[in-house]
Amino acid sequence: MAITISALKEAPGENRVALSPDVVRKLVKSEYQVLIEKDAGQQAFYQDSAYTDAGAQVVDRKTAIEKASLIATIDQPGDDVVDHLQAGQTLLGLLASLTDLEFVKKLAAKKVNAMAFELLPRTVSRAQTMDVLSSQASVAGYKAALLAADKFTRYFPMMITAAGTAKPTKVLVLGTGVAGLQAIGTAKRLGAMVSGYDIRPASRGEVESLGATFLTTSVSATGEGGYARALTPEETAQQQKELAGFIAENDVIITTAQVPGRRPPLLVTQDSVDNAKPGTVFIDLAASELGGNVAGSKADDTVTTPNGAQIIAAGDMASQLPASASDMFAKNVQAVINDVTKDGELVFDVDDEVVGELLATYQGEIISSRVRSAMKLPDRHPAKAEDAADEAHPDAADDSSEKSKTKGAD
Ligand code: NAD
């Protein structure tokens, strides 16, 4: 029987869809059966007819859930979906698996397999085509620069006209990972004078290669896997103090700073907001219910301060460019599906360095080391330390290192 892949209509406010017609066509060609919930692509301007033309069946929500081997979603689905999932089905999407542990436990209790994109080990080269965090951050950074240009009350580029010369807008990007670099590139193309700042000194070369100026403070902090580490309270205070001067000199400040699994760092204090030039636009890409990089930023809202600065909480930028974001998300979904398909079945190798980390739950067990650590569960591989001992004493080796390939339901 063919593997059945479903995509559902996302919750109101989410404009993206997890499968594009283009990816559906490829999946169908590779003999997957694809079910799309009616109107699932509407917000991204993918009509139901585009999906049927690509070989999918457009069905009601209940059918898309019940008949799926694997359901691809953008965001964590609600109870109306989860309550109808059956043991052996697989959910693939951004599932908030590190921040909503109860959700993960619920899926484990139902023996639903959960593959959470936020758990992807991004530095493994095989995983790069699956990297939703990068693909969506890139869209978000681009859209953030466009939004800033739209909301700011002056030209971005220098303009020399018969009616006088307009100076270019000064744009500062705080946090120059994937989203920040894309925001820098876009603001540069719009003609602004751009500078970038990151706590990781390694990011200097990337910022400068885009023609922007790299700013530094006396605080630097590189953590594991190329990410920033969380700062101590003293480092935070020092950084905030030094950033205040940069912020006061700029017209537009785009913030993107994140530390994996933590509340986003506060880079722009209330004092910095109060001292910003009138008309300054802050675009806070890190804003969510957890807080943001800018003091006073309110999730999904715009705040205008008494000194006329705007603080735009822009945590949903990828959803604001839904067609491009969905295209890339769908490609990432396709890459995961291809990776776990063996001989016409979904096969989850829980010991694989990519699949084993992507799997929050499998057959009722918590697999991902990051989710296990968040739940304070012991390591699934305490044997790793013993392996070293086994290498030194080969006679002591048993068969525990043999990979346990297990098959999922289809
Ligand atoms: P992210 O979204 O976790 O964070 C965004 C940026 O905020 C990062 O550059 C981080 O250094 C910065 N930041 C965090 N705390 C800060 C603070 N207090 N002050 C200033 N900046 C702060 O990061 P990301 O965009 O997902 O990427 C993080 C790193 O991972 C980058 O080096 C990126 O190039 C790398 N990466 C590598 C791969 C790969 O190897 N395939 C894929 C994706 C990302």
Per the annotation, the verdict on 20 as an active-site residue is: no
Q: Which residue has the higher pLDDT, 149 or 223?
A: 149
- Pick from 108-122, 177-191, 388-402: least confident: 388-402
Summarize pLDDT for 297-339 with one digit per residue, the tens: 988 899 999 999 999 999 999 999 999 999 999 999 999 999 9
User: Which of the 8 DSSP states describes residue 247?
Assistant: H
- Pick from 160-169, 256-265, 359-368: least confident: 256-265
The one catalytic residue in 69, 134, 195, 240 is 134
Helix, strand, coil % (nearest 5) of the chain? 40, 20, 40
Distances 230 to 119, 222, 282 between C-alpha atoms, Å: 19, 9, 22
Q: Residue 407: is its pLDDT beyond 50?
A: no
Q: Residue 400: is its pLDDT beyond 60?
A: no
Q: Which two tokens stand for residue 206?
A: 């990337």
Q: Residue 238: is its pLDDT beyond 90?
A: yes
Task: Please work out whether the CB of residue 170 comes within 6 Å of at least one atom of ligand 1.
Answer: no
Q: Give the separation between CA 94 and CA 28, rounded to whole angstroms.
A: 24
Summarize pLDDT for 50-82 with one digit per residue, the tens: 999 999 999 999 999 999 999 999 999 999 999
Per the annotation, the verdict on 370 as an active-site residue is: no
pLDDT at 383: 58
Q: Give the separation between CA 174 and CA 395, rounded to whole angstroms.
A: 54
- The chain-wide mean pLDDT, for the chain, equals 92
Q: Which two tokens stand for residue 39?
A: 């109107």
pLDDT at 331: 98
Task: Please work out whether the CB of residue 259 comes within 6 Å of at least one atom of ligand 1.
Answer: yes
Dihedral angle sign, alpha carbons of residues 370, 372, 376, 379:
negative
Q: Give the separation between CA 370 and CA 382, rounded to whole angstroms.
A: 15
Summarize pLDDT for 170-209 with one digit per residue, the tens: 999 999 999 999 999 999 999 999 999 999 999 999 999 9
In this structure, the residue with its CA closest to atom 3 of ligand 1 is 258
Q: Give the separation between CA 81 and CA 195, rounded to whole angstroms.
A: 44
Per the annotation, the verdict on 227 as an active-site residue is: yes
Cα 276 to ligand 1 centroid, rounded to whole Å? 26
pLDDT at 258: 86
Q: Which two tokens stand for residue 202?
A: 């390694």
The 10 Å Cβ neighbour count of residue 378 is 8
What ligand 1 atom has the least distance to the C-alpha of 257?
Answer: 7
pLDDT band (50, 70, 90) for residue 25: very high
- Pick from 5-14, 141-150, 187-196, 298-307: least confident: 298-307
For residue 21, the surrounding DSSP H or E stretch is helix 21-29
